[in-house]
């Protein structure tokens, strides 16, 4: 229950809870104290990182994710192009080998706009809810959403420009995403029109890939420019309601990223690569409340932190199964 509440709080913009020593398990307290008594030397830390780099770093999960994301989107394109009818539609609403699939946020928008839920939409929503519950909610963002891949490219450029001090990164309060969530829901209700779908880069890019480019791509280009020159991953961090909807489903999902404080160096490489670094607040020295903790459901399960961690302190896990992935 604590996990669900903390996940929802973080999803809606609240800062992560920071336990005092009374709220900590005895094991976690012992690890924190041992690290305080015998801190890791700078040399040992550098050696561990040099070793990780010498192994070529690790891009296992990133490569799997990119292959999946490109594969899923290509499936729609190929199916339409060759009229296979195996996969029909786009990411917002599709029929896959006869089964109806509907993006959860799009379903919500349609239901609010038309104030009714048609049978196909109900079936599609139920199928997708079950699928993303199993796969981990926001996994949709990093493993399927085509805008995510474009935004990763923009993020790479943004970070290089910041590093060279050509631009500054501007951050905003994460709570604005909740505000946008409510605004888009109210707009659908008030106008009877799925307003968010017209501006959602997920739907625009997905449809452009399948049916060909439209003028709406100019809007997507503008968003990417904003993310390159003004604010890192601004759309996904501060606006997109799709992430919130899938994050809510993900609070009960069995697939999570688990953190183990025992060997962690606390240098924060994981937080530097993360789209939602607040979920990794637990990796800051002295913050872990127990030896092992699951990252909250705002985590997109992208695996970048799992790849970058030199001590394997972050691993994928399926709740209830002993083995980590
Ligand atoms: S969990 Fe994060 S802070 Fe800890 S060792 Fe891994 S990358 Fe570094
Ligand atoms: S916590 Fe790790 S897996 Fe989750 S979004 Fe951040 S980098 Fe990706």
Q: What is the pLDDT of residues 12-60, one digit of tens each?
A: 999 998 887 778 999 999 999 999 998 888 888 888 888 877 776 689 9
Q: Taking residues 294-320, what's their average pLDDT?
A: 94
Regarding the beta carbon of 236 and ligand 2, being less than 6 Å apart is answered: no
Report percent pLDDT > 90 for the chain: 66
255 Cβ below 6 A of ligand 2 = no
| 311 CA to centre of ligand 1 in angstroms | 7
Q: Could you give the CA distance from residue 40 to residue 199 in angstroms, rounded to a whole number?
A: 49
DSSP state of 324: B
Closest by CA to 141, choosing from 20, 234, 246, is: 246
Indicate whether 221 pLDDT > 90.
yes
CB 139 within 8 A of CB 236: no
Q: In this predicted model, which residue has the larger pLDDT, 257 or 91? A: 257
- Local confidence band at 217 (pLDDT 50, 70, 90 cut-offs): very high
Rounded (10°) angle between helices 241-250 and 176-191: 110
Instruction: Indicate which ligand has the atom closest to the C-alpha of 306.
Output: 2
CA of 271 to the centre of ligand 1 (A): 8
Is residue 154 lining ligand 2, measured as CB closer than 6 Å? no
Q: What are phi and psi of 288, to 5 degrees?
A: -65, 130
0.85 exceeded by pTM: yes
Take atom 2 of ligand 2 and give the residue whose Cα is closest: 305
Domain boundaries, the chain: 2-57+254-318, 62-248
CA angle centred on 13, ends 263 and 168, rounded to 5°:
80
What was the pLDDT predicted at 117?
A: 73
Least Cα distance to 290 among 254, 257, 259 occurs for 259
Q: Whose CA is nearest to atom 6 of ligand 2?
A: 274
With helix as H, strand as E and coil as C, how does the chain read?
A: CHHHHHHHHHHCCCCCCCCCHHHCCHHHHHHHHHHHHCCCCHHHHHHHHHHHHHCCCCCHHHHHHHHHHHHHHHHHHHHHHCCCCCEEECCCEEEECCEEEECHHHHHHHHHHHCCCCHHHHHHHHHHHHHHHHHCCCHHHHHCCHHHHHHHHHHHHHHHHHHCCCCCCCCCCCCHHHHHHHHHHHHHHHHCCCHHHHHCHHHHHHHHHHHCCCCHHHHHHHHHHHHHHCCCCHHHHHHCHHHHHHHHHHCCCCEEEEEECCCCCCCCHHHHHCCCHHHHHHHCCCCCCCCEEECCCCCCCCCHHHHHCCCCCEEEEECCCCCEC
pLDDT for res 323: 63
Sign of the alpha-carbon dihedral angle for 44, 45, 48, 50 = negative
Q: Which ligand is nearest to the CA of 292?
A: 1
Q: Provide the pLDDT for residue 121.
A: 74
CA of 180 to the centre of ligand 1 (A): 32
314: confidence class by pLDDT, cuts 50, 70, 90: very high
Q: Tell me: the pLDDT tens digits for 117-157?
A: 777 777 878 888 888 888 888 999 999 999 999 999 999 99
Q: Which of 16-30, 62-76, 97-111, 275-289 has the lowest mean pLDDT?
A: 97-111
Q: Which atom belonging to ligand 1 lies closest to the Cα atom of 308?
A: 7
DSSP 191: H
Strands 99-102 and 314-318: unpaired
- For residue 303, which atom of ligand 2 is closest to its CA? 3
């Amino acid at each position: 229950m604590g996990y669900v509440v903390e996940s929802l709080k973080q999803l809606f913009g609240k800062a992560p809870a920071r336990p005092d020593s009374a709220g900590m398990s005895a094991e976690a307290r012992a690890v924190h104290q041992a690290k305080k008594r015998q801190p890791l030397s700078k040399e040992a830390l550098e050696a561990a990182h040099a070793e990780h780099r010498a192994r070529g770093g690790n891009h296992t999960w990133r490569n799997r994710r990119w292959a999946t994301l490109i594969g899923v989107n290509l499936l729609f394109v190929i199916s339409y192009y060759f009229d296979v009818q195996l996969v029909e539609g786009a990411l917002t609403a599709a029929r896959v080998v006869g089964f109806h699939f509907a993006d959860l946020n799009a379903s919500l928008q349609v239901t609010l706009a038309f104030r009714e839920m048609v049978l196909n939409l109900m079936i599609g929503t139920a199928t997708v809810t079950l699928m993303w519950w199993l796969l981990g909610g926001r996994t949709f963002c990093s493993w399927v959403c085509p805008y995510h891949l474009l935004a990763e490219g923009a993020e790479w450029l943004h970070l290089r420009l910041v590093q060279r001090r050509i631009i500054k990164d501007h951050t905003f309060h994460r709570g604005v995403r909740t505000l946008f969530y409510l605004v888009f829901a109210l707009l659908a209700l008030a106008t009877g029109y799925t307003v968010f779908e017209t501006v959602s880069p997920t739907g625009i890019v997905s449809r452009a890939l399948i049916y060909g480019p439209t003028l709406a791509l100019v809007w997507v280009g503008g968003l990417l420019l904003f993310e390159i020159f003004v604010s890192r991953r601004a759309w996904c961090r501060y606006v997109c309601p799709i992430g919130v909807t899938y994050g809510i489903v993900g609070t009960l999902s069995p697939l999570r990223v688990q953190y183990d404080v025992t060997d962690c160096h606390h240098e924060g490489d994981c937080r530097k690569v993360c789209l939602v670094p607040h979920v990794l607040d637990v990796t800051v020295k002295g913050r872990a409340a127990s030896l092992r903790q699951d990252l909250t459901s705002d985590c997109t399960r992208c695996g970048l932190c799992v790849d970058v961690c030199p001590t394997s302190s972050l691993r994928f896990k399926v709740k209830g199964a002993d083995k980590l992935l």
